[in-house]
Structure 1
Amino acid sequence: MSAAPVKIVLLYQSLLGIYGDHGNAVVLTKRLKWRGIDAELISVDPGDPVPADGAVYLLGGGEDTAQITAVNQLRADGALFSALDDGAVLFAVCAGYQICGHSFTIGARDEVIEGLGVLDVETRRGPERAVGESLSRWTRPDGATSLITGFENHGGWTTLGSDATPLAAVEKGWGNGDSTTEGAVQGRVIGAYPHGPILARNPELADHLLEQALGRSLDPLDLPEIEALRTRRVSAVREGRP
């Protein structure tokens, strides 16, 4: 009997998908299929039940009202929490990252909104908006390092608590707002600010998510054209080119 397909669950694309972050789900699905692993991409719309048997769940970027709606619906549904308890991976970008924390603020009055609480972080409006190409250095679980490149565009600045650790150290850009740390990791929940989509720009990070979800290492993919594009992108960021 063949193994069940690995489920990649894209959450609320219509709410949290204004920066093309749905591409992260496509990248994960493709990288599994290129290895001969059966994969299924499931897109969940607001109001639809969230499957509790996903391997990787994805949240993207969006605006204030969308964040509130997403938090309320995910909390009411409850399946994401059950999936995380069962060992699923959650990867959240920008606004999706912010709502994973304990709280975040919206609007000119900086109204504090309760988040999902799956990351020990708090987000508040920063003194200026973080916009531009970013580059950070990620130390992988095996101790090796890899660069993470992307485009950030966020007004919230995020502070990590003691239960969360930074995903990466900033080389160029704002990151969490301090120009020192980028993103947060807590167990199998990872948040990050860059778009791009980030997993298309950073295939090693994509494979890390898949390896966490599968509980095993994956054979490397020989895709020189992707590596060439990545090398040019990193060089452009360092040199300040578009």
Structure 2
Amino acid sequence: MISIGLILPDVLGTYGDDGNALVLRQRARMRGLEAEIVRVKLGDPVPSTLDVYCLGGGEDTAQILAAEHLIADGGLTRAASAGRPIFAICAGLQVLGESFRASGRVVDGVGLIDATTASLSKRAIGEVVSTPVLPGLSAPLTGFENHMGATILGPDASPLGSVTRGVGNTDLAALGAVEGGSVSVSEQKLAEGAVQGSVIATYMHGPALARNPELADLLLARAMGVELASLAPLDLPVVDKLRAERLR
């Protein structure tokens, strides 16, 4: 049985990113594997032994509530320490960073990603496409970004992809104070998402895993403790059609 944790869907469920957990469950079941979604709501303890975790997007108040709960509970941090895959979208990316800006103040994040989030000069909204940087991925990554966060990666984090269309993590105005680190200013400008340890995060809505089946299967393989190449391929023409339409 593959256990898929859907973390705080009651506060981080604004943009339909709950669909990522559904995609993981369905792609597992289509391969004849048993899979279940474990919904963990605000105030519930976060189990540290699930096979994979999904976090979605939300507004400022929701982000603050999520960060406070996840820091106090500690379950997700223990899961990350154990190497269990975690997939975070938009506000989820910001919440898992070192700090983020919400409701006019800087809020402490969970600290699973070496990243800080301030504010963009202009909202990033529209299609975003990137070339994957994460080893194991080869297909272009596609999604819909809608955020005001300017996320700067620290030396311990790497981008998920390099932007070929759209804004990505940040804009030029927010990069003025960036110095040093393993991610250069030019790389920060093209960066989309973040990868650190077992955590993969992105600003891509869509939901992201419906639009990027290779990424979904990478997470599924990690949840199972196997190589991506060992998963039986799925012939889904409708997904291929969706990707072709979105990449246009």
TM above 0.5, one fold?
yes
**Correspondence for 2:54:** 58
Could you tell me whether the CA contact under 8 Å between 1:133 and 1:151 is conserved in 2?
A: yes
1:140 deviation in Å? Answer: 4.6
Tell me which moved more, 75-84 or 168-177. 75-84
* Identical residues among aligned pairs (%): 51
**Correspondence for 1:239:** none
**Correspondence for 2:119:** 125
**Correspondence for 1:180:** 190
Q: 2:37 aligns with which of 41, 53, 59?
A: 41
| Count of residue correspondences | 228
**Correspondence for 1:148:** 141
**Correspondence for 2:175:** none
SS of corresponding position for 2:140: strand
**Correspondence for 2:244:** 231
**Correspondence for 1:238:** none
Counterpart-to-counterpart distance in 1, 2:242 and 2:69 = 38
In the superposition, the TM-score normalised over structure 1's length comes to: 0.91
Q: 2:108 aligns with which of 90, 93, 114?
A: 114
SS of corresponding position for 2:139: strand
1:139 deviation in Å? Answer: 3.6
Letter in 1 for 2:77: F
Q: Does 1:166 align with 2:179?
A: no
Could you tell me whether the CA contact under 8 Å between 2:56 and 2:90 is conserved in 1?
A: yes
**Correspondence for 2:181:** none
Counterpart-to-counterpart distance in 2, 1:103 and 1:12 = 19
Letter in 1 for 2:122: E
For the aligned residue pairs, the C-alpha RMSD in angstroms reads 1.2
SS of corresponding position for 1:145: coil
In the superposition, the TM-score normalised over structure 2's length comes to: 0.89
Counterpart-to-counterpart distance in 2, 1:169 and 1:31 = 26
Could you tell me whether the CA contact under 8 Å between 1:140 and 1:146 is conserved in 2?
A: no
1:87 deviation in Å? Answer: 2.0
Could you tell me whether the CA contact under 8 Å between 1:87 and 1:213 is conserved in 2?
A: no
**Correspondence for 1:216:** 226
Letter in 1 for 2:71: R
Letter in 1 for 2:120: G
Counterpart-to-counterpart distance in 1, 2:116 and 2:215 = 24
Structure 1 residue runs without a partner (length 5+): 236-242
Q: Does 1:71 align with 2:99?
A: no
Counterpart-to-counterpart distance in 1, 2:198 and 2:60 = 25
**Correspondence for 2:129:** 135
Counterpart-to-counterpart distance in 1, 2:46 and 2:102 = 25
Could you tell me whether the CA contact under 8 Å between 1:134 and 1:172 is conserved in 2?
A: yes
Could you tell me whether the CA contact under 8 Å between 2:144 and 2:204 is conserved in 1?
A: yes
**Correspondence for 2:5:** 9
Q: Does 1:90 align with 2:103?
A: no
Counterpart-to-counterpart distance in 2, 1:48 and 1:101 = 21
Tell me which moved more, 82-91 or 165-174. 82-91
Post-superposition Cα deviations, 1:67-94, rounded to whole Å, max 9, x if no partner, equal: 1111111111111111122221111000
